[in-house]
Amino acid sequence: MPISLGELATSQGCELIGDPDATVSGVASLQNASPESLSFLSNSSYLDQLPATRAAAVVLRPEIADACPVAAFISDNPYATYARMAALICPEPAFEPGVHATAVIAESATIADSAHIAANAVIGERTSIGANTVVGPGTVIGPDCDIGENCRLIANVTLVQGVRIGARGIFHPGVVIGSDGFGNAMTADGWVKVPQLGGVQIGNDVEIGANTTVDRGAIGDTVIEDGVRIDNLCMIAHNVQIGEHTAMAATTAIAEVRSSASDACSRAGPVQSDISMFATMSSWRDNHFFQKTLPNPELTQAVFRLVTPGPGRSSWHDSGVWVF
């Protein structure tokens, strides 16, 4: 929706160089922007695109403001400021409260009056859905789940059983949370399935990407703390504990790892020696980025490269991950 540059500047508490009455109605890259677009520059690799941009305004750092040919928002963190502004310009669609006629709701389930339950959703016994939460089409929520307020389960999300989610979570299509972990005991006659009897606890402000799976705990719970971001096609095994504000890139797989936002490294718990699921692990912790490909299942120690980001600088250090 159209919004003035002055309103955007006030909303983010940042300096505006330019006409506060000018408006924007969309967002675009520097190269593709139109006079109705907001853009941003946070990576110096794109600095050569700034002089020719046709954007209405650009969010950028103070040291390059003089090079901007259009209106400029001055920010020490242009990407984050842009993200907040983009959410105001292009807000999420609103959903009417209510339950679709094709949804199936257990008698013992509790649904907030302001929640939206879409077509063909299923909600199991003793499950509760918080205020303003959207349960998208085809989503299945099993028994004994607790979903907080202002969450969005976009479509075809599955919560199997005993899943507890805090506020403002976002869960993309195909996410499966609370399915059985890979627990098997070998006997002379073959494998015996180990009952998976725990649940999953997910904190506030967590986002999980499409087709990612999070297994229930074997004994006790799998835990994802506040502010975690998990990309598409990731696999989180039973009893994993992921510390607050961790971020994981696509195709990351973790088996019984405990990672904490306050840790200097990740330490993997007991795993079978023939497990080769550790393909690429990457995460932000304490505003640091970890990325390492573990080359083979026999690996006993790998070194992560740790980048410490900051305005105009990057530095690399060593950290460790141990697989016992």
Section 227-232 average pLDDT: 96
Can you list the domains of the chain with their CATH numbers? 3-89 (3.40.1390.10), 157-323 (2.160.10.10)
Reply yes or no on whether 245 is catalytic: no
Please check the confidence at residue 201 and state whether its pLDDT lies above 70. Answer: yes
Per the structure block, which two tokens stand in for 125?
């016994």
- In degrees, to the nearest 5, what angle opens at C-alpha 297 toward C-alphas 294 and 303? 30
Residue 93 has pLDDT above 50, yes or no: yes
Residue 85 vs residue 255, higher pLDDT: 85
CB 110 within 8 A of CB 129: yes
Instruction: Pick the catalytic residue from 238, 245, 288, 317.
Output: 238
Lowest mean pLDDT among 33-42, 221-230, 245-254, 270-279: 270-279
Alpha helices in the chain (DSSP H): 5-12, 78-89
CA distance 97 to 118: 10
Q: Which of 217, 198, 300 is nearest to 258 (CA)?
A: 217
Contacts 24+ apart (CB under 8 A), 153-161: 155/118, 160/216, 161/124, 161/199, 161/216
pLDDT at 312 > cutoff 90: no
pTM for the structure as a whole: 0.79
What local confidence, expressed as pLDDT, does residue 195 receive? 97
DSSP code for 193? E
The residue-averaged pLDDT of 18-46 equals 97
Residue 273: DSSP 8-state: T
- Does the structure show a pLDDT above 80 at 249? yes
Residue 155 has pLDDT above 50, yes or no: yes
Across the range 314-323, mean pLDDT stands at: 32
CA distance 131 to 78: 33
Check pLDDT > 70 for residue 212: yes
- pLDDT reading at 102 higher than 80: yes
Q: Report the share of the chain in percent with pLDDT over 70.
A: 79
The more confidently predicted of residues 257 and 313 is 257
Question: How many Cα atoms sit within 13 Å of 114 on the Cβ side?
Answer: 10
Tokens 């959703």: give the residue: 121
Question: Concatenated DSSP letters for 228-287?
Answer: -EE-TT-EE-TT-EE-TT-EE-TT-EESSEEE-TT-SSEEE----TT-----EEEEEETT
Q: What is the pLDDT of residues 182-192, one digit of tens each?
A: 999 999 999 99
What is the full DSSP assignment across 198-209? --EEE-SS-EE-
Q: For residue 323, what pLDDT is reported? A: 31
Residue 193 near residue 175 (C-beta atoms within 8 A) = no
Determine phi and psi for 64, rounding to 5 degrees.
-115, 10
| 78-89 vs 5-12: helix crossing angle, rounded to 10 | 120
Pick from 22-26, 117-121, 267-271, 310-314: least confident: 267-271
The identity of residue 281, as a single letter, is M
CA neighbours within 13 Å on the CB side: how many for 12? 26
Looking at residue 256, what is its pLDDT? 65
Tokens of 152: 């969005």
Both tokens assigned to 268: 């993997």
Q: Are 167 and 152 in contact (CB under 8 A)?
A: no
